[in-house]
Structure 1
Amino acid sequence: MKKITLLLVAVFTFGNVNAQDGGIKVGAHVGLPTGDIKDAYSVNLGVDVTYMWNVTDKFSAGVTTGYTAYLGETIGSGAGRFEVPNAGFIPLAATGQYSFTDHLFLGTDLGYAIYAGSGDGDGGFLYQPKFGYQSEKIEVYAGYKGISNNGTFSSINLGFNYKF
């Protein structure tokens, strides 16, 4: 928890000093689990906070965090019935975004996702390529999220960000 607090303090402190060079984005995402976990989890839900710095006219880089949860399902039947616990993660990642036009962009997040669910669990390497539409105040994107460590938590996501 100390690491997350320090990261957020650093982001917002640096952001206030260089406010003209970037901006904060706050958003939410929803996704369908795929791959290793598609039969055990029903949906991926989360919130995101990002700070971006303009590197060039078309490219921005920054940091991102938030919370993402994979909601467990009940699997099996009868005496073999088992409730899969929810799995939560706190991502700590670098992010980049290239704008092809004023409205279309391609981006990616790369970093580490800290396991924050109940019970035993491990974090893992986080990667999330995404493609989207943006205006001056909003973004809507589609992406693939993977959290890898002896198996992969993955999902196909739709997200929305509001830019401050």
Structure 2
Amino acid sequence: MALDLQGKNKPTMKKLFLCFTFLLGGLAVQAQEMRDLDQINEDNSWLKLGVNLGVPVGDVSNISSLALGLDVAAQFMRTDNYGLGVATGYTNYFKKSDIGEGTGLTDGFGAVPLGLMFRYYPQPSGLFVGTDVGYTFLTGANSADGGAYIRPQIGYHNYDWNIFGYYNQVFRGDPGIDIQSVGVAVTYNIRFK
């Protein structure tokens, strides 16, 4: 049984999306030496693999009680502080239990993002900020359309690990409801050779 994600489209995080995009754009134009793609090595490029755990918020919290997923991204450090890449993964939104249906965690829906990632690392280890932007495809949601997404993040990083909090929103067209969640994620950096 697939979930019905039909509902009213509400004005939401569009201002946050614009502000965050301008912030990252401003950080990108700092006067730093830019690397070209032919300079990729294990010190400036890696594959990020990880897991995320979130809590649905907004209208989708009436449908789902938990979001659990896998993150995959490839990142290239364009400068010493600024990283670019592509991000994807899969997140399952578990259905809330209904009276008489036991746990109710068998008929959720899934989200498969495909986007660009932007990261700003002020220091080689410590605080970082970033966002993923792109399109999310939905699975198991009564053929519901996906939509554009944004996933701002703030967290801690070192040579091998990233631990961060995030807000994720999928902007869906009328008559769909936006899919929103907040959560935490951990990724491990696998170096390119």
Task: Give the TM-score of the pair, scaled to structure 2.
Answer: 0.69
Q: Does residue 139 in structure 1 map to residue 159 in structure 2?
A: no
**Counterpart for residue 33 of structure 1:** 56
How far did residue 118 of structure 1 move? 5.2
- Kindly report the root-mean-square deviation, in angstroms, between the aligned alpha carbons of the 2 structures: 2.1
**Counterpart for residue 116 of structure 2:** 94
**Counterpart for residue 148 of structure 1:** 171
Partner of 2:62, secondary structure, is: coil
Within-5 A mapping of 1:10-49: 18-20=40-42, 21-49=44-72
Structure 1 unmatched runs, 5+: 1-14
| Structure with greater strand percent | 1
1:38-90, Cα deviation, whole Å (9 max, x unpaired) = 12201011101100011111100000111011111134x57xxxx69411011
Q: Percent of aligned pairs with the same residue?
A: 29
Pairs aligned (count): 145
Task: Give the TM-score of the pair, scaled to structure 1.
Answer: 0.81
Distance 1:17 1:46, change over 3 A: farther
Structure 2 unmatched runs, 5+: 1-36
Q: Does residue 51 in structure 1 map to residue 51 in structure 2?
A: no
Partner of 2:188, secondary structure, is: strand
How far did residue 16 of structure 1 move? 10
Bigger Rg, which one: 2
